Amino acid sequence: MPSLPSRDDFEISPEVFSLLKDDPESTGFRLVDCREEDEHAICRIEGAELIPLSRFGEEAPRKLLQSDDSRPIVVYCHHGMRSLHATLFLRQHGKGETWSLAGGIDLWSRTIDSSVPRY
């Protein structure tokens, strides 16, 4: 069974995340979609909470940083660039176990769950 990526890595591959997400012995994850509402309406990964990057600076502190939830965080967007920015923001604010989903929901759809529409 794969383990969490090193904190030196800023991304988690869809394959590793899928295995960890589905592992019954896993402590679980917080999955954050940092795309905008219109994108979230098109498709999403089940269980994701929407915190758009355009409002991340105001919403993430309240929803993610003040929480005593110690689960690792995986952030995704369309292709992985916005989620990388969100990951860096969270790490700079003390959430060291945060990773961006490499390739975003687009790569997730192509490699893990083809039922997730691509756009």
Sorted by where each begins, the domain ranges of the chain are 28-111
28-111 homologous superfamily: Rhodanese-like domain (3.40.250.10)
In our burial notation (b when 16+ CB lie closer than 10 A, e otherwise), range 81-105 reads: ebbbebbebbbeeebebbbbbbbbb
Whether pTM > 0.85 for this model: the answer is: yes
| Integer Cα distance of 52 and 48 in angstroms | 12
pLDDT of residue 74: 98
For 23-47, how does the pLDDT look when each residue is reduced to its tens digit (9 = 90+)? 888 878 999 999 999 999 999 999 9
pLDDT of residue 1: 64
